[in-house]
Amino acid sequence: MCGLVGYIGNNAVEQTLLDGLKNLEYRGYDSAGIALNDNQNIDVFKAKGKLNNLTEVLSNRPKPAKNSMLGIGHIRWATHGKATTENAHPHLSNDGKLVLVHNGIIENYQQLRHELEAAGFVFHSQTDTETAVHAIDREYKKSQSLEQAVTAGIKLLEGAFAFCIMHKDEPDKIIAVRKNAPLIIGLGENENYIASDIPAIIGKVKNIIHLNDCELAIVEKNKVTVKSLDGQILNKEIEAIGFNPEVISKNGYKHFMLKEINEQPVIIRRMAQAHLPESGLPVCWGSKGCMLDLNRIKNISIIACGTSLHAAMYAKTLWEDWLQIPVHVEAASEYIYRANITNANSLVIGISQSGETADTITAVKQAKEKGAQILILTNREDSSIVRYADCTVPLNAGIEVSVAATKSYTAQLAALYWVGLYFAEQNKSLSASLLASLKQDLLELPAKMEEILSNQQAVQSLADKLKNFKDMVYIGRGINLTCAMEGALKLKEISYINANGYAAGELKHGPIALLDEQMPVMAVLGPGVTFAKMISNCEEAKARNAFVAAVLSEKAAVKESFFDAELRVPETNETTFPLLANIQLQLLAYYVADALGREVDQPRNLAKSVTVE
Ligand code: F6R
């Protein structure tokens, strides 16, 4: 969501902050700003819109008399207050001496603002963040110590926050502090960094410290001291950054999304090799082992949002068949506001690419409080959600820069597949021969994915036909329903064409009223019991003059010219078909959006990790 960065050291502060913000751009944002401290003054620069606008503001100003020694920067995704320059961070205290940037939401901001205004503080924005500046400044006036002021000030704040804070009179430090929002410290030589996410400091430092909730770091040029809020010095583990700078380069592709779609065979091959050494051998959980008490599990709930929720729906269909255990799937934002029946017999699985989605984190936290065992599937093993895990399944898909999830979704499907096989093997719910053939199917997927990616002509020409429609319907049944829903989500989020996924059998109960020559239908027709019924549903759509396209297996038998367009995928089993069909639908969304000239990697209004509920 928002992104923040801080720097203290000998390098050009302004450029270092801009570089950091540039690498956080993928998170989605609507304004940006930096504050520079040259040991005499704090100067704040902000601009609405893209980072280029901020760069322009900076280059149009008179050349500064002194070099800055430290600074903080921010890209904002508006929550409280519109996307305006006044609401952009950093925010300054009334005396212009204390400045901060903030990620998260201060829930009690209204009450605090009221109190601070009554005490004479003047607000210049509509943000919740500005209450934090004045609350900390009020404490500073008492203690004349930034560390003490921050410690006292943030105790008044409810909600989620990560802050970088500087004071004009203490130009030797930046203070970083967090609660329920990610924050890392990058350790350099004679320089140190603060960032909300690794890409901001990738290639700049080799080692980092992860701050935990209610920890405060005093970041100086040659020293970083981490303390608890009661002042205890903490001995923090120094970790190596697990990514190289290449992960945030496009490697010759026009967009990150296309690069990430093309990375999928490698990711799935790596995952299959790690967990399914051979079709005849047991599933291997991985080096950390499965820490779950499987005998205790009487029901499974999978909680997630957006694309990750679609992965959860895939697991439900698969696992209820394989495991004969009820699997409940729910959007995290719904799960947290009702009396659900989670208890000590529940296995609750949180799926989150980023591991920072606020709704999913809250849901998992609630489930843990009710005694459930928690399994987390995430692409970021260093993320906040992992704190609640009894067991974590890392997706190892590499940093996903494009806002639209592609490779992480496919990795989620593959991970849910092998985890399902592991459970089935442990509770002996599938025969040895079926297990072996299901394993073999996954092992064969990467080569089949490569085959799809090596020939993109059919999907490009379909994209060309569909790009000028205003609306579109995707249909699927059974295990392919989620594929249809995910295909529709991908198209709408990056092309802004209104697209919805429906259970094909539900068409006749309402949505069929939409169908005519202006409403194309994309059918996902996997092999198996639903194939014939899907053909009937497509007939119904054709009878209403809709343009009907389909994604289906290479050898699926359909009358010649039955479909207006076909996207074929190599033959595979019913359960693995969605992983192949999904790639065609990702490509379709990509080529439509690109043909329309959309900002594919950073669609409007969206953010990569949604850290607010
Ligand atoms: C869509 C997309 C979002 C995310 C959702 C959950 O392409 O990326 O729908 O899937 O915001 O994000 P995570 O998986 O990070 O919890």
User: 73 and 101 in contact (C-beta within 8 Å)?
Assistant: yes
Strands laid side by side in the 191-195 sheet = 42-48, 31-37, 70-76, 3-9, 191-195, 184-187, 207-210, 239-240
- DSSP 8-state symbol, 608: S
- 3 state DSSP class of 85: coil
Q: Which atom of ligand 1 is nearest to the CA of 404?
A: 7
The CA-based angle 251-255-258, given to 5 degrees, is: 85
Q: Is 377 in the pocket of ligand 1 (CB under 6 A)?
A: no
**Is the peptide bond preceding residue 90 cis, with omega within 30 degrees of 0?**
yes
Residue 150: name the closest of 71, 229, 44, 37 by CA. 229
The SS3 of residue 208 is: strand
What does the pLDDT read at residue 238?
Answer: 95
Q: What is the 3-state secondary structure (H, E, C) of 89-124?
A: CCEECCCCCEEEEEEEEECCHHHHHHHHHHCCCCCC
Q: pLDDT band for 1, please (50, 70, 90 cuts).
A: low
> Who contacts 33 (Cβ-Cβ below 8 Å, separation ≥6)?
44, 45, 46, 47, 54, 73, 74, 76, 88, 89, 90, 101
Q: Which two tokens stand for residue 287?
A: 């080096």
Block residue for tokens 């004349």 = 144
State how far the alpha carbon of 182 is from the alpha carbons of 153, 196, 607, in Å: 19, 6, 15
305 is catalytic: no
Give the confidence band of 211 by pLDDT, cuts at 50, 70, 90. Answer: very high
What are the pLDDT digits (tens) for 3-38? 999 999 999 999 999 999 998 887 767 899 999 998
Q: What is the spatial distance between Cα 273 and Cα 199, in angstroms, rounded to a whole number?
A: 28
Closest C-alpha to ligand 1, atom 5: 306
Q: Hey, which of 26, 77, 197, 305 would you mutate to test ligand 1's pocket, going by the most ligand atoms within 8 Å of its Cβ?
A: 305
Give tens-digit pLDDT for 145-196.
999 999 999 999 998 899 999 999 999 999 999 998 889 999 999 999 999 9
Q: Angle of helix 146-154 relative to helix 129-143, nearest 10 degrees?
A: 130
Average of pLDDT values for 526-550? 96
Question: Residue 235: how many CB atoms within 10 A of its CB?
Answer: 5
Q: How far apart are CA 1 and CA 74, in angstroms?
A: 11
| Per-residue pLDDT, 286 | 86
Tokens matching residue 291: 């820490």
What is the rounded radius of gyration, in angstroms, for the C-alpha atoms of the chain?
26
Say how many C-beta atoms besides its own lie within 10 A of residue 460's C-beta: 16
The pLDDT confidence band at residue 612, using thresholds 50, 70 and 90, is: low
| 360 Rama class: left (phi>0) / alpha (psi -120 to 50) / beta | alpha
- The closest of 534, 89, 321, 156 to 553, measured between CA atoms, is 534
Q: Is 290 assigned a catalytic role?
A: no
pLDDT digits (tens, 9 = 90+) for 322-350: 999 999 999 999 999 888 889 999 999 99
83-97, 306-320, 557-571, 595-609: which range is least confident on average? 595-609
d(CA 98, CA 182): 22
527: left (phi over 0), alpha (psi -120 to 50) or beta: beta
Residue having the nearest C-alpha atom to atom 16 of ligand 1? 352
The answer to whether 255 and 594 are in contact (CB under 8 A) is yes
Residues 6+ apart with CB under 8 A from 394: 378, 379, 381
What mean pLDDT is predicted for residues 210-214?
A: 92
Which residue's CA is minimally distant from atom 11 of ligand 1? Answer: 306
Q: What is the pLDDT of residue 28?
A: 65
Question: 405 in ligand 1 pocket by Cβ < 6 Å?
Answer: yes
Structure tokens at 529: 């019991």
Q: Which atom of ligand 1 is nearest to the CA of 305?
A: 6
Residue 203: helix, strand or coil by DSSP? coil
Please say whether the dihedral angle defined by the alpha carbons of residues 319, 323, 324 and 326, taken in this order, is positive or negative.
Answer: negative
pLDDT of 41 reads: 86
Q: List pLDDT tens digits, range 380-426.
A: 987 888 889 999 999 999 999 999 999 999 999 999 999 999 999 99
Report the residue among 26, 197, 353 best suited for mutation to probe ligand 1: largest number of ligand atoms under 8 A from its CB: 353
603 lines ligand 1 (CB under 6 A): no
Q: Residue 299: exposed, middle, or buried by beta-carbon count in 10 A (0-12, 13-18, 19+)?
A: middle
- Average pLDDT of the chain is 93
Best residue among 314, 610, 611, 613 to mutate for probing ligand 1's pocket (most ligand atoms within 8 Å of CB) is 610
DSSP-derived secondary structure letter, 233: B
Question: Does 28 sit in the ligand 1 pocket, CB within 6 Å?
Answer: no
Query: Contact, 183 vs 194, CB < 8 A?
Result: yes
Q: Is 308 in the pocket of ligand 1 (CB under 6 A)?
A: yes
Q: Which of 199, 192, 152 is nearest to 172 (CA)?
A: 192
Confidence of residue 62 (pLDDT cuts 50, 70, 90): confident
